[in-house]
Structure 1
Amino acid sequence: MSFKDDAEEGRDLRKPFLHTGSWYRMGSRQSSLMGSSQVIRESSISVLACVLIVALGPIQFGFTAGYSSPTQDAITKDLGLSVSEFSLFASLSNVGAMFGAIASGQIAEYIGRKGSLMIAAIPNVIGWLAISFAKDTSFLYLGRLLEGFGVGIISYTVPVYIAEISPQNLRGSLGSVNQLSVTIGIMLAYLLGIFAQWRILAVIGILPCTILIPGLFFIPESPRWLAKMGMTEDFEASLQVLRGFDTDISFEVNEIKRSVASTSRRTTIRFAELKQRRYWFPLMVGIGLLLLQQLSGINGVLFYSTTIFESAGVESSSVATFGLGAVQVAATAVATWLMDKAGRRLLLIISSSGMTVSLLIVAAAFFWKESISSDSSLYGILGILSVVGVVGMVVAFSLGMGPIPWIIMSEILPINIKGLAGSVATLGNWLVSWIITMTANYLLDWSDGGTFTIYMLVSAFTVAFVTLWVPETKGRTLEEIQFSFR
């Protein structure tokens, strides 16, 4: 019997759950749910618990991104690296993430969201061990590439999994936990890097994934992926566990079944069909937001924040960099609270507008500084103004452009092309991130004011892009969002 037939006949899809106290009646129906990896528990597993477990992946993501900043001097001294060799080491995580992004969609489609995260965790652990035991650049480079590969898979899979398990009224806030966890990982790397030797810090980097691996055995698979794969009983059981045993899930079950039935009649999409609005519009919005997120220059600002603060005349630049990480965490936490109240679209407009104004302030301050003497009292004031602008840019980014593009991508991509389209979107994000990271230093050497002017123009374009094309997805089911594009 197909999903479509079940939905049309209006069958009571809750029959396997008309009991309390356990997933199946004790005795005759004690069996494993979701295969051998699913652990049967007496009480339901909340969505929040699932989100907190998979959030260990983005924490690993952030720790990888932040690791190179506090360890640069120690690694270059201990292993005798040149500046270019260390720069290559730092950038290889982006290269590895590109390869991970290419594979992420297909891996998540074939073996599921949980299996994909399991695969991502393994190269991360091996990568950190390689760095901690490195005697030369070969192990450093290998470890960084492996970390990046795992992070590339994590960056696609986690937001998709969270979107697919979350109730529609909490999907925005829970989805923002992904970016919040990334910022926490960055801040932890900055903080622990002050006290821990670089090899010890690499060992500490293993912890998120070593906790994530066993944690995945205690959470259900995405019900929408199970439905797409035709695992009817596991799909309904997973959804009931996520919503609670006292919750009537029949309506949501029928909605998901209808959506899957309508998209599974033909799994192959011809290139010509991408011209249809139901495909090109969500692809443009999802990929466009992820590209604009990085083109705003945020990674260049964060990666070289110490250099920027030094140029602005800040004496304790390393402390200022840690403070910037703490501000980013706080602002992202606020965005998590606002996501399902203010809505995605409004927060994106506010965020990109705030970034535009902040970057304009930084650019103007640096241009003005170039025209006056360093002995002038105004020179110090302009330095403070540029720091205020940088902090304002990071706060504005964290309120919208940081978390929301990943949420939007996971919400609007059609289910029958989500694997391929998600891989392309994630690859584009990492490719632009690598380009921005590699060029930021050269651009800052060319002109501080000119660099921030370029980033400001991109942010101004983002305001127009969001205003004209990005739809509001707050409070709508994934199936309703997909139907609106038809």
Structure 2
Amino acid sequence: MSDQKKKLFSPFVKQCFVTATVCMNVLSNGAAYGFPAILLPQLKQPDSPIPISKSEESWIAAVVTIAMLVGNFSMPIFMEKLGRKKAHFMVMLPTVIGWFLIIFATSVQNLIIARIMHGLSLGQIVMIRAVIIGEYTSPKNRGAFLTLISLAQTSGVFVVHLMGSLLKWQTTAAISVVFTVLSFMMTFFLPESPSWLANNGKYEECQKHFEWLRGADENEELKELIQARMKHNASKNVDIKAALKQLDFYKPIIVSLHISLIMFFAGTITVAVYGTTIIAEIMGPDVDAHFWLLCLDSVRIVTSFLAVYLVRTFRRRTVTFGSVGLCLLVHILIITHVTLIKFGVRIFDYFWIPAILMNLQCFSLSAGLLPINNVITGEIFPLAHRSVGISITTTVATGFHFIVLKTFPYLLSEVGIAGVYGIYATVMTYGLIVTWVIMPETKGRTLQQIENRFKGVKGTAPELESLNNNNKA
């Protein structure tokens, strides 16, 4: 790229473009995730071109989770063998195939295959979205950029629900595929990840791409990165068993898994999937559950913008434990309110009390838990174990996802909504204690500094004279 173009586009603008490219893809995946909410009601209409049974309905909704596991296991291979850029292209192929299968679907089988394609992409994008943004962006802006992932996903769900309320499901799918096509075109202009290049011994290319993304003001991080990779690559005979025992391998996995555990049991998935049921249980059967669900969706979108400011301004631990603490308090207050009403204590029997509590729950999720999960995933995994670590975490987190969705109806019928919130609060408390003890502060630190923190290394000396001399020659 010429010097004139370098001056025209600042490093910040380039990093914004990288984030926009990834988030456009995430938005399409968010639309795919929320698509059954508008597809299934239309398929159950008397004039539906594809009538469905109860069994077929459940398969269309649930097959995504199974396909996500395949995506979790396949993405590490793509990321390590092909690089981040080519892997991002790979992620979008099943998404596009899925949308076109839906557009031209003539049977339930077509729809199920389409949902499998979407599930495969959803499992893959969870890994690569945080890796790309985490590796391409500056430490001072990295947290804010990673926070935009949750905003993009929430916006995708909202957009598809909005379109589905006005348009037929085929038209909604045709519009949704445009987001993926845009992301595909934008990906052509991305450089390769400097971290991946360094990890594969391409140090000169690493330096070139790093300076294109970051400018000349962050050379210290470049020196740390290349020196660490030179040292790592010099030792080719890696003891796998020894690697599994290293702090920088298992400790980030433990941190990320417990953040995911808290996130799922805090209500991120249950409110999205069983929202109308939860609202009726907490606020009473006489309220308009669909109206209040739209209100909660609106709160989540608005709060996602606020989360960008919070993550950029405050420490990671402050945002994490502040949002978890608020969510736990809301859980306890909801349990108290429902229990009092159940036993006939009508002093606080006002519909606005549970309404405020549920809005506070969504606020705590969107302001802290959802974005911080993406931030932590993009920051704490060391380069040598990044793909494997995120794959393990994502796979287990998908299990959390399945367990929460599968058990909610049964728990509700056995212990009631107060009991469900009590169980969830207990799991969250456990996750909070573990995270409090082992989660490090990562705000403002380079990825290499975070990696060194897990290894117990206090500092890294800059040693790049040989590389610099080669570049000058």
| DSSP-derived class of the 1:206 partner | helix
Q: Given the superposition, is the C-alpha separation of residues 364 and 132 from structure 1 closer, same or farther in structure 2, using an over 3 Å criterion?
A: farther
Q: Given the superposition, is the C-alpha separation of residues 441 and 82 from structure 1 closer, same or farther in structure 2, using an over 3 Å criterion?
A: farther
CA distance in 1, matches of 2:57, 2:356: 30
Q: Given the superposition, is the C-alpha separation of residues 86 and 384 from structure 1 closer, same or farther in structure 2, using an over 3 Å criterion?
A: farther
The residue that corresponds to 2:295 in the other structure is 323
Encode CA deviations 1:75-122: one digit per residue, 9 max, x unaligned.
223233234432321122222112111112221111111211211111
The residue that corresponds to 1:28 in the other structure is none
The residue that corresponds to 2:91 in the other structure is 120
| DSSP-derived class of the 1:218 partner | coil
Contact 1:356 1:457 in 2 (8 A): no
Encode CA deviations 1:358-386: one digit per residue, 9 max, x unaligned.
112222333333333xxx966852x5433
CA distance in 2, matches of 1:58, 1:211: 12
Encode CA deviations 1:421-475: one digit per residue, 9 max, x unaligned.
1111111122211221222233223311111111111222233223211111001
| DSSP-derived class of the 1:135 partner | coil
The AA in structure 1 aligned to 2:397 is: N
CA distance in 2, matches of 1:283, 1:262: 23
The AA in structure 2 aligned to 1:403 is: P
CA distance in 2, matches of 1:332, 1:276: 35
Contact 2:201 2:230 in 1 (8 A): no
Tell whether 2:316 aligns with 1:333.
Answer: no
Alignment TM-score, normalising by the size of structure 1: 0.86
Encode CA deviations 1:376-425: one digit per residue, 9 max, x unaligned.
966852x5433332221111111221111222122111211111111111
Structure 1: any 5+ residue segments left out of the alignment?
1-16, 24-40
Q: Give the 5 Å matches for 1:60-459.
A: 60-77=28-45, 78=48, 79-244=50-215, 247-264=216-233, 265-266=235-236, 268-311=238-281, 312-313=283-284, 315-372=287-344, 381=350, 383-446=351-414, 447-459=416-428
Q: Given the superposition, is the C-alpha separation of residues 404 and 52 from structure 1 closer, same or farther in structure 2, using an over 3 Å criterion?
A: same
Encode CA deviations 1:24-59: one digit per residue, 9 max, x unaligned.
xxxxxxxxxxxxxxxxx9756611111111111221
Contact 2:195 2:383 in 1 (8 A): no
| Cα displacement (A) at 1:322 | 2.1
CA distance in 2, matches of 1:275, 1:259: 19
CA distance in 2, matches of 1:173, 1:278: 24
Higher mean C-alpha deviation, range 396-405 or range 131-140? 131-140
Q: Given the superposition, is the C-alpha separation of residues 352 and 267 from structure 1 closer, same or farther in structure 2, using an over 3 Å criterion?
A: farther
| Cα displacement (A) at 1:269 | 4.5
Encode CA deviations 1:224-255: one digit per residue, 9 max, x unaligned.
112112223322221121124xx345323211
Q: Given the superposition, is the C-alpha separation of residues 387 and 82 from structure 1 closer, same or farther in structure 2, using an over 3 Å criterion?
A: farther
The AA in structure 1 aligned to 2:39 is: T
The AA in structure 1 aligned to 2:61 is: A
Contact 1:263 1:415 in 2 (8 A): no
CA distance in 1, matches of 2:356, 2:56: 33
Q: Given the superposition, is the C-alpha separation of residues 358 and 326 from structure 1 closer, same or farther in structure 2, using an over 3 Å criterion?
A: same
The AA in structure 2 aligned to 1:469 is: I
Higher mean C-alpha deviation, range 262-271 or range 416-425? 262-271
Higher mean C-alpha deviation, range 394-403 or range 266-275? 266-275
CA distance in 2, matches of 1:363, 1:172: 34
| Cα displacement (A) at 1:70 | 3.1
CA distance in 2, matches of 1:429, 1:60: 21
CA distance in 1, matches of 2:195, 2:356: 44
Structure 2: any 5+ residue segments left out of the alignment?
456-473
Contact 1:47 1:166 in 2 (8 A): yes
| Cα displacement (A) at 1:194 | 1.5
- Using the aligned pairs only, state the percent identity: 24
Cα RMSD for the two superposed structures: 2.3
The AA in structure 1 aligned to 2:134 is: A
| DSSP-derived class of the 1:416 partner | helix
Q: Given the superposition, is the C-alpha separation of residues 306 and 162 from structure 1 closer, same or farther in structure 2, using an over 3 Å criterion?
A: same
Contact 1:162 1:174 in 2 (8 A): yes
Higher mean C-alpha deviation, range 474-483 or range 103-112? 103-112
| Cα displacement (A) at 1:166 | 1.0
Encode CA deviations 1:153-203: one digit per residue, 9 max, x unaligned.
111101111010111111111111111111111111222222111222222
Tell whether 2:452 aligns with 1:483.
Answer: yes
Contact 1:126 1:143 in 2 (8 A): yes
| Cα displacement (A) at 1:260 | 1.1
